[in-house]
Structures are given as C-alpha cells and as structure tokens.
Amino acid sequence: MSRRIFLALQQLLGPSHVQNSEEAAPYLTDKQGRYVGQVIAAVHPANTEEVAAVVRMCVATDTPVVVQGGNTGLMGGATPDASGRAVLLLLDRMNRVRTVDIDNDTLTVEAGCILQTVQDVARDAGRLFPLSLGAEGSCTIGGNLGTNAGGTAVLRYGNTRELTLGLEVVTAEGEIWNGLRGLRKDNTGYDLRDLFIGSEGTLGIITAATLKLFPLPKARATALLAFDSLAQAVQLLSHVRAGFGASLTAFELLSADCLSLLREQFPQGPQPFLGAGQPWFALLELSDNHSESHARQTFEEVLGEAFERELLANAWIAESLVQSEALWLLRENMSEAQKRAGRNMKHDISVPTSQVVAFVAHTDALLQAHFPGVRHFTFGHLGDGNLHYNVAHPLGSTVEAHMADYAALSLLVHDSAHAHGGSISAEHGIGQRKRDILERYKSPVELDLMRRIKQALDPKNLLNPGKVLEVLAS
C-alpha cells in the first residue's frame, strides 16, 4: 500500500519532488532532536492545486498528512510520528510573493516564503512587515501562521494572527478555500481565518496569506534600563506605555543572571552595567515616524520623568545604530548563551502583566523549596506578560541529574502560571510536546469545543494527527 501511494505521488508531482524517509531525513527530526519520525514520502508540491491533489489522494487512502515549514518549531508539532504511515508536505517550492498592494498596505505570499524574505519584500516596497523572531532567517510564514508566532514586536503590532487579513487553505477533504481578502473590515460569517491560524496544521493546510503592512519607522531609540526590582520594571512599563503610546515597540526583560550568563558565554560582547548590582534589566525600544532628533527627544523626556518618579535605577541609552545593535545582541544571544552553558528547562509562559511580580516571586520560591539551588534564567517579552522562565541545574550538580526532574519541575511552573491566570504556552504552541499536559489546564468544556471543531473539519483525523489534541477514534 505504502509503495503504491509513493508511486502515485511521484506520478502526481514528478519523481524529483517526492522523497523517501531516507532522503527526507533532515525533515524527520525536530530542531531540538527530541522527536524522530518516519514517512511514506515527503512531497514538495509546486502549487496549491498540487497540495489539494496530494490531500485528496491521502484522504482516499486514509493516509495522515503532516505539514512542515522551516522545521524551527520547539514543540515537535511538525514532526510526523514513527509509524511511517504519513505523508509529509513541504511547501518550499511554494515561496512566491503573489502580490504587493502598496495602496492597500498588504502583500500576498505563499506559505513556503521564509519570514525574512517577507520582511525584505515589504522593506523594498517602503513598508514594514513587523513579525520578527529568532528563527526569521529559516522559518516560513506558513509555520508562523500555523503556530500564530509571536516574537519581539507583539507589544506594538500583535501576534501573527493580528497581522493577517486573509488565507488560502486546503481543507481536510482536499478542497481549496480562497479566503485571500485584503479587507480590514469584513463581517460576513464565521471567522475561519483565525480558526486556521494557530491550529498547527490540524484543521487545514495554509497555502498562502494576505498580510498587513505598516509604515517604516523613520527612527529608533534604544536603551538598556536597570531596575531595583521586578515591580519597578512593571511600573516603568506602564509609564512608557502612556508616554510613548504606539511608538513603544519593545520591552524585553533580562534578569541580572541572564546578563552574567551572556558575559560568561560572550566575553567579547557588550558589558553593560557590569557589577551595577541591580537584579533586573530591560531592553526598551521606541520607533518614531518623524526623525532621529524627535525620537531622541521623546525618549529622553519620558525617561527623564521616569527617573524623577524613581521608576528606574539606571539607563544606558544607545548613542548610535552600532550601540543599539549591540544592545539587541544581548537579547538575541540569550538562546545561544543558554545552549553553550548546557541544557536547561524552558518554559514559555504568559501571565497578565499585573501578575508577573507575584508569579516570579511565588514560582522562584517554590522551586527553591523543591529543587534547592536551581538557577533561574528569566527573560522575555515583559510587555506581553510573556516570560521565558528557564531553569538550569544547581552549580555543583549535573545537567543530567537536573533534566531527570523535568516533568516534576515543569509541573510546578505550569501550575503556577495557570494559578496566576496565565498560559502554559505563550508563543510556542502545543505540538506533541504539550499535548497531554494541555488536558490539565483546559476545562472539559473547552476541550470538548476544540474536539467538536476538529471532528467537524477533519472527520477522519488525517491532518497532523496526534498534535494539539488527542482525538479518540470515532
């Protein structure tokens, strides 16, 4: 049967666009190396019609279909299971920019476009596509849509969902829904768009999208701020929200331990506030539509007022683009610094901004009580209440001993986030990694609504089965 499907796919797409498991090996292990899958075939369709034809063939043979973008996800959401029953859809050939509509401030791109390409095309048209995240050089817009990716510009521009006006989707029956509308207002029926976005390929295959563009800021101002407490950082956030309004484009938190780690791992990098003694820091960015001098003036005015009101302990304002980039490098190097220091436990949680202080105090104390000596590397998008609450092994212990406690420790962190009104996955999604713990935090009513929708749109459970939700055989 598998052989027959393989040959039929070759006939459909041409032999050079269909690979076996061996040839497709790079796509069958997730980025973290946690999951390894097998497939009947990995296919590279050229266009939406070919995607639809592949899905129809899979439906006819009860073959699961897994779609994958740049394979940069952290939850194993795009890795097929080990059964070898699935077909893996790769949309790398579908990477055209279909249209750029300057007067409407939109562009329409195919799902296989690399995020950075979308940013570049927008910039070449004199516009900003604001979605920005670590993997932007290799992740695809289809993957961003499938997971409703976040990143560093959410504070001002929203998640991928808020940046999207229209979609083209291949349904679980292999039909094509053309919902590529470039409209900012359209109240004609149910919001299918937002249902497909973030559904991680379990409700339909997103093949193209119409995205919002924004004016390119004329100038930016960046600073690294030091705080005497996390509470002070939250107060300053409120202050700059009011003072900068929509010009506030980043508020990225870093703990003092994060800065020390960066110093250790990147001794050639910038060394701001060396030995300053404050426990918390934040990277602040303002984007301005007027001019450099206007940006600078606003920045200094609002920060000056903050100093007077004792809303921060210190500020290092970038005097040049080079200095600004050096500050951003701190934030961007956090992933790599952690990797170099040895594996740690990552938690992508969010809580209401008003709960951040209580969450961190409570969770830190709880972990110290249960796992004495663990080290906290807490950073993230404070402006969105999204913390990367990461926990490393105690000095004097080993990474391996620490990682053995992963399930127990994560349970405490996730329970605490939930108890503070938060989410166990702010921007990384569910995939296969958080699928089972989701049951703990969602009410039976919500899980039931989700299952009904899955059943309605994918009654044979062929689209990325085993991800997001466990579906009971019907």
Q: Retrieve residue 44's tokens.
A: 């590279």
The Cα-based distances of 232 to 110, 282, 387 in angstroms read 44, 11, 16
Among 192, 219, 256, 326, binds a second copy (CB under 8 A): 192
Q: Which is nearer to a second copy, 164 or 324 (CB)?
A: 164
* Distance of closest approach, residue 231 Cβ to a second copy, in angstroms: 10
Among 184, 309, 339, 440, binds a second copy (CB under 8 A): 184
Packing angle, helices 356-370 and 230-244, rounded to 10: 160
* Distance of closest approach, residue 298 Cβ to a second copy, in angstroms: 7
Among 103, 124, 322, 395, binds a second copy (CB under 8 A): 103
Among 31, 93, 98, 181, binds a second copy (CB under 8 A): 181
* Distance of closest approach, residue 148 Cβ to a second copy, in angstroms: 5
Per-residue x/- marks for a second copy, 211-230, CB under 8 A?
Answer: ----xxx-------------
Of residues 315-354, which lie at the interface with a second copy (CB under 8 A)? Answer: 350-354
Assess contact for 314 and 276: CB atoms under 8 A. yes
- Please provide residue 208's backbone torsions phi and psi, each rounded to the nearest 5 degrees: -165, 160
Q: CA-to-CA distance for 312 and 186, rounded, in angstroms?
A: 44
Q: Give yes or no for residue 425 binding a second copy (CB under 8 A).
A: yes
Q: Give yes or no for residue 23 binding a second copy (CB under 8 A).
A: no
Q: Which is nearer to a second copy, 288 or 371 (CB)?
A: 288
The residues, any chain, with a CB within 8 Å of residue 41's CB and separated by 6 or more, are 5, 6, 9, 18, 19, 20, 24, 87, 88
Q: H/E/C letters for each residue in 122-146?
A: HHHCCEECCCCCCCCCCCEHHHHHH
Q: Give yes or no for residue 268 binding a second copy (CB under 8 A).
A: no
In the chain, the N- to C-terminal Cα span, in Å, equals 23
Of residues 279-318, which lie at the interface with a second copy (CB under 8 A)? Answer: 287, 289-290, 298, 301
* Distance of closest approach, residue 256 Cβ to a second copy, in angstroms: 23
Among 120, 191, 336, 400, binds a second copy (CB under 8 A): 191
Could you tell me how many residues make up the chain?
A: 474
Q: Give yes or no for residue 464 binding a second copy (CB under 8 A).
A: no
Q: Give yes or no for residue 233 binding a second copy (CB under 8 A).
A: no
Q: Give yes or no for residue 106 binding a second copy (CB under 8 A).
A: yes
Name the segment binding a second copy (CB under 8 A); options: 2-10, 220-228, 273-281, 379-387: 379-387
The Cα-based distances of 219 to 52, 228, 275, 287, 294 in angstroms read 44, 30, 31, 6, 8
Which residue's structure tokens are 């129809």? 56
The Cα-based distances of 425 to 92, 198, 356, 434 in angstroms read 27, 12, 15, 8
Q: Which is nearer to a second copy, 198 or 272 (CB)?
A: 198
Residues touching a second copy: how many (CB under 8 A)? 94
Q: Give yes or no for residue 271 binding a second copy (CB under 8 A).
A: no
E strand spans, 279-356: 280-288, 314-317, 348-350
Of residues 28-67, which lie at the interface with a second copy (CB under 8 A)? Answer: none
Packing angle, helices 356-370 and 406-419, rounded to 10: 150
Q: Give yes or no for residue 469 binding a second copy (CB under 8 A).
A: yes
Count other Cβ atoms within 10 Å, centred on residue 470. Answer: 13
* Distance of closest approach, residue 161 Cβ to a second copy, in angstroms: 7
Rg (CA), the chain: 23
Which residue's structure tokens are 């212990």? 397
DSSP conformational letter for 354 = G
Q: Give yes or no for residue 133 binding a second copy (CB under 8 A).
A: no
Q: Give yes or no for residue 178 binding a second copy (CB under 8 A).
A: yes
Q: Give yes or no for residue 419 binding a second copy (CB under 8 A).
A: no
Among 190, 372, 396, 474, binds a second copy (CB under 8 A): 190
Of residues 1-20, which lie at the interface with a second copy (CB under 8 A)? Answer: none
Of residues 135-174, which lie at the interface with a second copy (CB under 8 A)? Answer: 147-148, 150, 154-156, 158-159, 161-162, 171
Among 125, 219, 366, 453, binds a second copy (CB under 8 A): 453
